[in-house]
Amino acid sequence: MKTLNTIILALGAVAVLGTTGLYAQSAVANVPFDFTAQTVTLPAGQYEVTRLSSTSGVLHLINLETRKSVLVMAAPGQSAADNAGTTTGKVIFHRYGERYFLSEIWTPNGPTGRVTPSKAERELKANGGEKQMASVGIPLAAQ
With contact defined as beta carbons under 8 Å apart, do 134 and 32 qualify?
A: no
What's the Cα-to-Cα distance from 141 to each of 12, 24, 89, 108, rounded to whole Å?
33, 15, 10, 8
**Residue 7 is inside which H or E element, if any?**
helix 2-23
Model confidence band, residue 139 (pLDDT cutoffs 50, 70, 90): low
- Cβ pair 47, 29 in contact under 8 A: yes
Residue 57's closest CA among 23, 21, 92, 19? 23
Averaged pLDDT of the chain? 75
- pLDDT of residue 62 exceeding 80, the answer is yes
- Res. 83 pLDDT band, cuts 50 70 90: very low
Average pLDDT over residues 78-93: 63
Domain-by-domain residue ranges, the chain?
Answer: 24-138
